[in-house]
A = this chain, B = another copy of it.
Amino acid sequence: MDSRDSLWLEQLRDPDAPAARRALAKIITLLESTRPDHRERAGLLLDALLQRSGPTTRIGISGVPGVGKSTLIEALGLHAIAQGHRVAVLAVDPSSTVHGGSILGDKTRMERLSVHPRAYIRPSPSAGHLGGVASQTREALLACEGAGYDVILVETVGVGQSEVAVAGMTDLFVLMQLPNAGDELQAIKKGVMELADLIWVNKADVDPVATTRACAQMSGALRLQAGLRGGDAAQVQPISALKGDTLAQAWQGVQDWLAQRRADGRWLARRQRQNRDWMWERIHRGLRLAFEADPAVAQQLPDISRRVLAGELASSTAAARLLALHGVDASRLSPTPSSPAG
């Protein structure tokens, strides 16, 4: 390992020191790089950091712009720190390349948390497509855990696929809602409620009557949905970033939810499934990229695609020809029934 990298790992041993924060930032930047030498160093660093991780809690937090995510994450982060935790805040925002960082680009939105010595805030990477952003955030999450942060909050905006990605990298996925009926339909429409383990109805202090009504309506809708689809209904809770008691209740709700799932084995099963899925996702992605980068394939692909679209060439024949150009003899591959490729 590079002497710089060894130094960074050494500096991370004392997570309270400013040098540790700088080292973590540099490691995450390396993880986000697409340069081959950076990727190689990043892989070694990540392996080393993985060995240092203790028990951690990964919480995904989603909600449409204006729902009050930043304010709540700051309040919740400070609450968790007061309970003895170290808190890292990450984000998955595939639009950040377009807008130049729409969420967490500006740390001033979490003024108190961002300067706290036991908190680390990192804006969304801007790799330009969701797969890349999600993958980089997953690695940043592992790096933060290796650097001593034991509560990881991953923020995302309400744009469908990014929520699937965040639910797939966290132990618990929270959807934030406002106490009005329009939002409720909106969330069901986009299928986001199916992902949610907990639902927090925010700004509960502004209109307590509307909040109570919204909570009851959502609980009813979720129970109906859970009954139809099978599975647990997400719990609905009122919350307010400005009121310490609802915040403490929400944090306790998270702890209780996780404790139950740790006890019955579902917490571990979810992490193992995520680890396995991430590995295969990376493998399949690598195979596809290598295929598309193959000059022999790239040369023939436009013409073959055109003939397939026009119905002149069977899709299977086209695939076999392109695979052959890539050195894969499709006719010699006969899968076993147990193959995950089935």
Known A311-B271, A333-B293, A334-B34: A283·B322 in contact at CB below 8 Å = yes
Q: In the complex, A114 Cα to B333 Cα: how many Å?
A: 35
Q: Assuming A36-B331, A341-B292, is B315 touching A282 (CB within 8 A)?
A: yes
A316: chain B residues within 8 A (beta carbon): 43, 46, 135, 138-139, 278-279, 282
Which residues of chain B come closer than 8 Å to A271, judged between CB atoms? 311
Flag A111-147 by CB within 8 Å of B: 1 or 0 each. 0000000000000000011111001001100100000
The 5 closest A-B pairs by CB, nearest first: A282-B319, A278-B315, A129-B342, A39-B331, A289-B333
B36 to A332, Cβ gap below 8 A?
yes
Residues of B within 8 A of A43 (CB): 314, 316-317, 320, 331
Asked if A110 CB lies within 8 Å of chain B CBs, one says no
Number of copies: 2
Would you give the 0/1 interface string for A280-316, flagging 1 where the beta carbon is closer than 8 Å to chain B? 1111111111111100000000001100110111111
Contact count band on A: 35 or more
In the complex, chain A residues 26-74 whose Cβ is within 8 Å of any chain B Cβ: 34, 36, 39-40, 43, 46-47, 50-51, 53
Contact of A335 with B by CB under 8 A:
yes
Instruction: Determine the chain B residues whose CB is within 8 A of the CB of A135 once the complex forms.
Output: 316
- Interface residue A272 (Cβ < 8 Å from any Cβ of B): yes
B337 contacts A286, C-beta separation under 8 Å = no
Cα A34 to Cα B334 with chains together (Å): 6
Of chain B, the residue at the smallest CB distance from A190 is B229
* Cα–Cα distance between A188 and B322 once the two chains are bound (Å): 40
CB pair B279 A287 closer than 8 Å: no
CA distance A116 to B40 in the complex (A): 66
| CB of A17 within 8 Å of the partner chain | no
Q: Could you tell me which A residues sit within 8 Å of B by CB distance?
A: 34, 36, 39-40, 43, 46-47, 50-51, 53, 128-132, 135, 138-139, 142, 185, 188-189, 228-230, 271-272, 275-276, 278-293, 304-305, 308-309, 311-320, 322-323, 326, 328-335, 337, 339-342
- Closest B residue, CB atoms, query A323: B286
Q: B286 near A328 (CB under 8 angstroms)?
A: yes
Contact A311 B50 (CB under 8 A): yes
Contact A315:B275 (CB < 8 A) given known A189-B230, A286-B328: yes
A334 to chain B, nearest CB (A): 4
